[in-house]
Amino acid sequence: MIPLPIVDGALQTLSPEVRTETVHIKHFFAENARTGRRFIKLLHPTLVIDTLQFSEIDKHTGADTKLLLDWLKEGSDVGVMSEAGCPGIADPGAILAGIAHTIGAHVVPLTGPSSLILALMASGLNGQSFCFKGYIPVKEPARGQYIKAMENASRKEQQTQLFIETPYRNNNMLNDLVKNCNGNTRLCIAESIGAPDAFIKTQTIDEWKKNQPDLKKAPAVFLLLAR
C-alpha cells in the first residue's frame, strides 16, 4: 500500500521506505494511472516506465480483482496507490487489500501522509474519540438533516466528526455548516495540507459567520466538535 503526497510533488512528506520498497515493483494498481506513472517516475527518474504494468481502479466498476489475484499468484509484488494520501483510507484500495488477505498475501502499508490524521492533529479537537463520515449527502433536506445528526452525535459522545467534500463544493459545505450548526460548535477546515499555502483553522460557527472565507477548490477536510 503506497502513499502519495497530498500536495503534488511533496516527496518530503513520505518515509524513505516508499522509495526503497517501490524500486523493484513492476505491477501497480492506481486510482489514476497517469498520476501513478508520474509519481513512480518522480521517485525513480532512471526507471523505464514502459517496463511497468499499471491497472487503473475504475470509478464505477472498481479494480480488476482477477488481475490482482493473477499477479499475486504468480509471485509478483503489487503496489496499490491512491490519487493522494494513503490507499485504503477513504479510497477503493481497501478492496484490493481485503482480497489479498483472502489468499494469505502479505499486505504491507508504507508510511505516508493521511489528510484525515494530519487534519485531526492540527485541529485542536478531540483526538481520543473521532469518527470519519466520508462524503455526506449533497441535496437537501438530507444534507441539513445529516449535518444536524453529526452535530448531535458529536455533542452526545464528545466525538470529533470528520468529513470531506468535492473541492468545488467547499464553499457550499461551509455555508451549510454555518446554517445548520449551533453557534458554539467548533469547526476546523484543513485545506491543501502540506502545501506552502495550506489553510488550517479552528473556530466556532459564530466566529466563522463573522468572517467567512472564500475557500479554494482544493482538497479539504472538515472537522466539527459540538459542546
- For residues 78 and 31, membership in a common domain is answered with yes
Helix (H/G/I), strand (E/B), else coil: 76: coil
Among 102, 125, 143, the domain-final residue is 102
- For residues 139 and 199, membership in a common domain is answered with yes
Q: Is residue 108 part of a domain?
A: no
pTM: 0.90
- For residues 131 and 63, membership in a common domain is answered with no
pLDDT at 9: 85
Among 51, 79, 102, the domain-final residue is 102
Q: How many separate domains does the chain show?
A: 2
CATH of the domain at 126: 3.30.950.10
Q: How far is CA 170 from CA 57, 133, 138, 204, in A?
A: 25, 16, 11, 18
C-alpha grid cell, residue 45: 527518474
- For residues 188 and 215, membership in a common domain is answered with yes
C-alpha grid cell, residue 110: 508504507
- For residues 132 and 84, membership in a common domain is answered with no
Q: Is residue 92 part of a domain?
A: yes
Dist CA 175 CA 183 (whole Å): 13
Among 52, 67, 102, the domain-final residue is 102
pLDDT at 119: 98
In sequence order, what are the beta bridge partners of 186? 204, 225
- For residues 90 and 33, membership in a common domain is answered with yes
- Tens of pLDDT, residues 40-92: 999 999 999 999 999 999 888 999 999 999 999 999 999 999 999 999 998 88
- Mean model confidence pLDDT for the chain: 95
Q: Is residue 107 part of a domain?
A: no
Q: Is residue 2 part of a domain?
A: no
- For residues 75 and 98, membership in a common domain is answered with yes
In 114-162, where does DSSP find H-type helix? 115-123, 142-157
Range of the domain at 156: 115-225
- Tens of pLDDT, residues 135-176: 999 999 999 999 999 999 999 999 999 999 999 999 999 999
Buried b / exposed e over 121-150, threshold 16 CB at 10 Å, is: ebbebbeeebebeeebeeeeeebeebbeeb
